Chain A
């Protein structure tokens, strides 16, 4: 009669041997000078550099959800979706989009194509603007993008836009300012002194907490870090679209803050800086002229925005 006992014992022996060997090799690997692993997170170990690819894909998925599924595939014209709309709408990210965002599908090619469009999301909508139901009272549903952003941030903590987008929608449409701030601080832990994250953090203090001194300190720190990052770089890079956009936003927001605080001379100085990089220098100059005229006539100056 055959007995299974020897086989069970053999399997047990092999399991014990393998576990012991794995533990031994792990200890050796940890102390090996050639070990370049920065993290022992299981995801890092399994996916390695591929994590960023997955992170990008999840970030894109969040934008798909922002459009309730109406999104171009690799077969469609994606020029109007180069920058995620969920990021563009925060006002903190420069847009590289061109063309018609509502008509990327183009006219139907044939009967099947026309018929097919009844069975897929076929209209350009944003979740914060009511989504497919066009119901503005449900703009909190923009929270549906958060799971994908969370996973994306876990996989690629160096992607700044993930934190900015998450924090913006948390504080503006979901009334969760503290959590938005927490997300930005988490981003700053992974990306210390990042001017984009500091800019968004400053907006939290300015727009939500109405704490002008702290907002000013944060934006000035962002400005210093922006300059530090640009030091030694050629003008072409300094004035690259994304860098110019951030500088413009920082100077404009600092100018608005100074106006709100009643420091008009400081505000004019910031507007002057903003004018140099603004896409609408004439509009900024007009606002500066108004401020100077009001200062000259010693009247109260309303806090107004040029942009």
Chain B
């Protein structure tokens, strides 16, 4: 376990030194500030449009950070040939993979904490309330979703040759699931065979990332999700993350590194 933490620590340090997060955070803060400076009918209490814009930017930024950072991990180590001295040490490939995953996932979690703190401040400046439990649920679900995305990207970096293609494919797949994943079964019902069965199969196989997107509940002040349901969603994310990590390990184990 210590070896995994040591590798994840290196990843965290590397992410800390990179400029991605800072740039994305500044862009998010700037756009939110500009949109917040607009008042409609001189009503300072209108806030939901601002919350929606801010949360959208946070989601987009987090996906950029998660996919962009993870996709480079193993290919960069191979290109700079630092992977070989690492593997020469008494570290298994599974430990390297888990260390990389943990580092990227923790970095995403830390970035999300800052993003959600900023969001909370923006919302509180107009709403004068801080629904901490709702924000906690939104943050944990968002972070759990990023766990699946990080694992998916890690798997992509082992089966796809170029970093750019991995980033593009993972990004498109993630956005597609977020946008239409929920409706695939409904769409399949209006189709003929064999398309219907293929789409239905796809619906059951894909990780339902849209499940973790609770922006509408936060923006429109809906009540809390029942804690039991929230816990099941986290377990679902953990299961998919584990499955994708297992697939990554299988791919990594057979990979010839030259």
Contact = CB atoms under 8 A, between A and B. Distances in A.
Given A116-B182, A131-B220, A132-B220, A109 B189 contact: yes
Which residue among A65, A110, A112, A170 has the maximum number of chain B CB atoms within 10 Å of its CB?
Answer: A112
Interface string B12-49: 00000000000000000000000000101101011111
Contacts, number: 84
B41 A176 contact: yes
Contacts of A170: 41
B189 A68 contact: no
B49 A147 contact: yes
A120 B217 contact: yes
A32 interface: no
B253 interface: no
Interface stretch (B55-63, B85-93, B159-167, B206-214): B206-214
Contacts of B213: 119
Contacts of B77: none
A132 B223 contact: yes
Contacts of A147: 38, 40, 46, 49
B46 A143 contact: yes
Nearest to B222: A132
Interface in B180-207: 180, 182-183, 185-187, 189, 203-204
Nearest to A111: B204
Chain B facing A: main interface SS:
helix
Interface stretch (B68-76, B94-102, B226-234): B226-234
Nearest to A133: B221
Interface of B: 38, 40-41, 43, 45-49, 141, 180, 182-183, 185-187, 189, 203-204, 208, 210-214, 216-217, 219-223, 225-226, 229, 232-233
20 contacts: A65-B49, A68-B222, A69-B220, A69-B222, A75-B180, A112-B185, A112-B208, A116-B210, A116-B211, A118-B226, A119-B212, A119-B217, A120-B216, A120-B217, A121-B217, A121-B222, A131-B221, A132-B220, A132-B223, A146-B43
Given A113-B182, A116-B208, 8 more contacts: A69-B219, A75-B186, A115-B233, A120-B216, A131-B221, A133-B223, A146-B46, A148-B49
